[in-house]
Chains A and B, each alone.
Chain A
Amino acid sequence: MQRRTFLKSTAALGAASMLPWKSSPSTAQTADPPTDDWLQAAIDEASQLGAGHAEALYLAQRRQSTQIRKEDVYSITDSDEAGITLRVRFGSFIGTASVPSAQRGSPKDLARRAVESARLQGGLLKQDERLKASELFGRLDTLPRVPLDVIRDVWQPEGVEDPFLTDLGERIDFLKNLNRTALKITQIPYAVSNQFLNRRRSIFVDSLGNRKEQEQFATYVNFAVTAFHQQKRRMDTRTSEREAQATGWAGATANMQSELETAMQEVLRTQQADPVTPDTYDLVIHPTMLWNLFLETLLPHFDARQLLRLDGRSSGERWITLSNLGERPLRSEALVLNWDTVLPGGLASCRWDDTGKRTSSFIPFLDRTGIVQNIPVSPDLVAYDQSYSLGFPGFDFSRASAWHTPATMAMPNMVLQGGRDGKNLDDLIAGVDNGIFVKGRGTVLTNPAKSLFRVRPQAAWAIRGGKIAEMLRDVEIETSTAQFWNALEEAGRKEDTFLGGELFPQRAYPLWDTPFSIATPPALFRRIPVYRTEGQS
Chain B
Amino acid sequence: MMTRNECEALLAIAVQSSDVDEVFATLNATDSCSRSIAGRLLLPPHRMRNTEITVTVRKGRRYAMASGNVYDETSVRDLVARAGRHAQFMPEAPEIIPFPGTVDSAESPMYREMDISRGVDGFERALETFLVEPSFDGMRVFGSATSASSSLALASSGGLFLYQPSSLANAHLRCFSDDGMSTGFSERYAVNPADLDLREVLESSARGCGQWRNPSDIKPGRITTVFEPRALADLLRPLLQQFSRRAIEQDQSFLRRLDGTSFLGTKLFHESVNFRSDPFDARVPSMPFTSEGQSVHAEDWVSNGVIAQLVTDRYDARKSASAEVAPPTNLIMDAAAPVSDIVASTEYGLLVRGFANLNILDPKNCLLSGSTRDGVFLIENGKITKPVKNLVLRETPVYLLKEILAMGHAELTSTTGSYFPMLLPSIRVKDVMFTQLSGLV
By a beta-carbon cutoff of 8 Å, the part of chain A in contact with chain B is 28, 30-31, 66, 72-73, 76-83, 87, 93-103, 113-114, 116-118, 120-121, 123-124, 126-128, 130-131, 134, 136, 168-169, 172, 305, 308-312, 314-316, 318, 381-382, 403-404, 406, 448
Contacts and interface: CB of A to CB of B under 8 A. Distances in A.
B49 A381 contact: no
B39 interface: yes
B65 A78 contact: yes
Interface string B77-93: 01100110110011100
Contact of B41 (A117, A131, A315): A131
A235 to B, nearest CB: 21
Contact of B47 (A66, A93, A102, A117): A117
B439 to A, nearest CB: 8
A172 to B, nearest CB: 5
Nearest to B143: A312
Interface string B37-72: 011111111111111100000000000111111111
B438 to A, nearest CB: 9
Contacts of B86: 76, 78, 168
B180 interface: yes
Given A76-B64, A76-B90, A100-B71, A315 B180 contact: yes
Q: Most chain-A Cβ atoms within 10 A of its Cβ — which of B47, B89, B121, B176?
A: B47
Nearest to A510: B38
Nearest to B131: A127
Nearest to A88: B44
Interface residues of B, number: 54
Tell me what chain A mostly uses at the interface: helix, strand, loop, or mixed.
mixed
B45 A120 contact: yes
A118 B42 CA distance: 12
18 contacts: A28-B78, A73-B89, A78-B86, A80-B67, A81-B69, A97-B48, A98-B48, A103-B69, A114-B47, A116-B117, A120-B121, A124-B124, A131-B42, A312-B174, A315-B441, A316-B441, A381-B38, A404-B48
A476 to B, nearest CB: 22
Given A73-B90, A117-B33, A103 B71 contact: yes
Contact of B66 (A79, A83, A120): A79
Contacts of B75: 30-31, 102
B69 A30 contact: yes
B420 interface: no
Contacts, number: 164
B90 A31 contact: no
B39 A310 contact: yes
A124 B42 contact: yes
B132 to A, nearest CB: 8
Contacts of B52: 81
Contacts of B440: 314, 448
Given A97-B48, A127-B128, A102 B441 contact: no
A309 B39 contact: yes
Most chain B CB within 10 A, of A80, A130, A305, is at A80
Contacts of A318: 180
A130 B75 CA distance: 49
Contacts of A316: 180, 441
B68 A314 contact: no
A406 B124 CA distance: 21
Given A100-B51, A123-B124, A30 B44 contact: no
A78 B91 CA distance: 17
Interface in B369-427: none
* Those 7 A-B pairs whose CB atoms lie nearest each other, nearest first: A315-B180, A312-B142, A314-B441, A94-B44, A97-B47, A103-B71, A102-B71
A113 B47 CA distance: 7
A389 to B, nearest CB: 14
B343 to A, nearest CB: 26
Contacts of B179: 315
Contacts of A82: 69
Contacts of A314: 176, 180, 183, 440-441
B140 interface: yes
B41 A136 contact: yes
B181 interface: yes
Which of B33, B68, B78, B83 gathers the greatest number of chain A CB atoms within 10 Å?
B68
Contact of A127 (B47, B51, B127): B127
B172 to A, nearest CB: 10
B46 A80 contact: no
B143 A83 contact: no
A120 B91 contact: no
A27 to B, nearest CB: 12
A121 B181 contact: no
B68 A81 contact: yes
A314 B6 CA distance: 46
Given A310-B39, A316-B180, 9 more contacts: A73-B91, A80-B66, A80-B67, A80-B70, A311-B142, A312-B143, A314-B180, A318-B180, A404-B50
Nearest to A173: B89
B46 A98 contact: yes
Contacts of B83: 78
Given A79-B67, A124-B124, A310-B38, A100 B49 contact: yes
Nearest to A82: B69
